[in-house]
Copies of this chain bind each other. A is one copy, B any other.
Amino acid sequence: MITNEPRIRESLANQGLLQTLAAGLHTLDAGRVTLFMPITPASSQQHGFVHAGATFALGDSASGYAAMTVMPPDAEVMTVEMKINLIAPADGIRLWAHGEVVKPGRRLIITRCTVEVERADGTRRDVALMQGTMIPV
């Protein structure tokens, strides 16, 4: 088990925005975390697609939790910076964010994340790519 799993689950439960978005933890491994959230009117933009802000929120959180899996048990992280490329409209029923650590470090942790949309027929496609930096706090 990943040492920080209980802290990550607790964090997810206490993050107001992630609760607002109904985000959940799917899988958690060393350096990798997958989160998901339903696509609802509360997370959409004017055409019914997921708002870039919701996509970012899920991907940023998956990235941060991935960083926590490679850190000491009492550590937390903050996002220093994050870049997102939105590569397709997110129209579907569920969003999946796969965060991973690409470079762990004592002072900084570099992460990437791919966000996918799942359609009603179960197919998926990538909707966003993220690359960012986390700092232990």
A16 / chain B contacts, CB cutoff of 8 Å: 40-45, 51
Cα–Cα, bound, A45→B110 (Å) = 21
CB distance from A14 to the nearest CB of B (A): 4
CB distance from A91 to the nearest CB of B (A): 13
| Inter-chain contact A129/B107, CB cutoff 8 Å | no
Cα–Cα, bound, A85→B134 (Å) = 11
- Residue in chain B with minimal CB distance to A43: B17
Does A88 belong to the interface (CB within 8 Å)? Answer: yes
Q: B-contacting residues of A (Cβ < 8 Å)?
A: 10-11, 14-20, 40-46, 51-54, 56-58, 60-61, 78-89, 102-103, 107-108, 110, 112, 126, 129, 131-133, 135
